[in-house]
Structure 1
Amino acid sequence: MSGVNKAIVVGHLGGDPDIRTGQSGKRVASFSVATSEQWRDKTSGERKESTDWHKIVVFSDGLVDIAEKYLKKGSKVYIEGKMKTRKWTDQGGVDRWVTEVVLQAFNATIVLLDKREGGVTPASDEGDYGSQRSGAADGSRPVVAPRGGSKPAGAPGADMDDDIPF
């Protein structure tokens, strides 16, 4: 019996993506995404918040391009990939582990949830956001802009000066 390994993270980038080129010449993007939850403490009535940080690693060429061109510190994103834990030994000989959301080839997605500069005003809540998916050459699903007043790229009347890469 096989299992399902699918991770979905919706949050804000903690910093600009780090784009590196490996020994093979293949580019890799990495960044962290913060997710927060808020609640009211039942005993004190005080408002509380908890933030979790998720390491994201992008191996898909099309999504590395999207990350490099469009993601920046504070960007709100929807990330879909799979969880992977890897182990290494640090310089002091201590074994270390890290769990990451990996975006590689098929079933990997980045959705930009922020408004585009000079474009649509942001939606009032996440239910107003949507995505238009377009398959990249490597089978990944780069994603673009919020729904609302804008038209899909290529639609009649769409702005041809749009900076979306498809």
Structure 2
Amino acid sequence: MINRVVLVGRLTRDPELRVSQNNISVTTFNLAVNRPFTGQNGERGADFINCVTFRKQAENVNQYVQKGSLVGIDGRIQTRNYENKDGQRVYVTEVVCDSVQFLEPKGQQGSNQSQNNYNSADNYANAYGGGAGNQSTGSRPAQSSPKQDRTEENPFANADGPVDISDDDLPF
């Protein structure tokens, strides 16, 4: 059986951090994910997915994301039920996140701005943790040095005619 979920979306509210009776950090948040089609009125609908993270990952999510942040998650669907204080049975379906990737540099949450000459891979804060087999890495510090302009020269600019390359010289 396969139970795997991969989603990219924006948080609909700030994450909520709690500590369990066993002293384990638990963060819950709601993720808005666009549907791949538009309705009759031309608007794109969205699904709102409940998500939960544990341990160090929960602490990182609580610290580094907020309402409107764009995140990518990888996890599994879990259903559970409990009895509320009124004695009614409550059923919950949620995604237990094995990994959460923060897809925007800090300070750009919720905006559609371009990434002004920054190496975006170094600006992303990644949070892993919880679940078996995952290592907790925390987040990388943002690097604010702009990319250096490299003008690459055409090695064939001074060629007077066709370039003679045999098939044996090609690596593929």
Normalising TM by the smaller chain, what interval? 0.5 to 0.7
For residues 73-108 of structure 1, give each alpha carbon's deviation from its aligned partner in whole angstroms, at most 9, with x where no partner exists: 0001101111000011223332221100012xxxx1
Give the aligned partner of residue 10 of structure 1.
8
1:7, distance to aligned residue in structure 2 (A) = 1.0
Gapped runs of 5+ residues in structure 1?
Answer: 146-152, 161-166
Please tell me whether the aligned partners of residues 39 and 45 of structure 2 are also in contact (alpha carbons under 8 angstroms).
no
- Aligned counterpart, 2:85: 91
Contact conserved, 1:30 with 1:55, CA < 8 A, in 2? yes
**Kept after mapping to 1: 8 A contact 2:102/2:127:** no
Structure 1 residue 65: deviation in Å?
2.4
Name the SS of the counterpart of 1:47 in structure 2.
coil
Distance 1:32 1:77, change over 3 A: same
Matching residue of 2:38: 39
Q: Residue 6 and residue 142 in structure 1: after superposition, are their counterparts in 2 closer, same or farther (change >3 A)?
A: farther
Matched, 1:117 2:107: yes
Q: 1 CA distance for matches of 2:128 and 2:43?
A: 40
Letter in 2 for 1:8: V
Q: Distance in 1 between matches of 2:127 and 2:31?
A: 23
Amino acid corresponding to residue 39 of structure 1 in structure 2: T
d(CA) in 2 for partners of 1:71, 1:113: 10
Aligned twin of 1:77: 71
Q: Which residue of 1 aligns with 2:96?
A: 102
- How many aligned positions are there? 135
Structure 1: 4+ residue segments shifted above 3 A = 120-123, 128-139, 141-145
Post-superposition CA distance 1:98-119 (Å, at most 9, x none)? 100012xxxx11111123338x
What is aligned with 1:56?
Answer: 51
Structure 2 gap ranges (5+): 145-172
* CA RMSD between the two structures: 3.7
Q: 1:132 to 1:114 in 2, by over 3 A?
A: closer
| Partners of 2:25 and 2:59 within 8 A in 1 | no
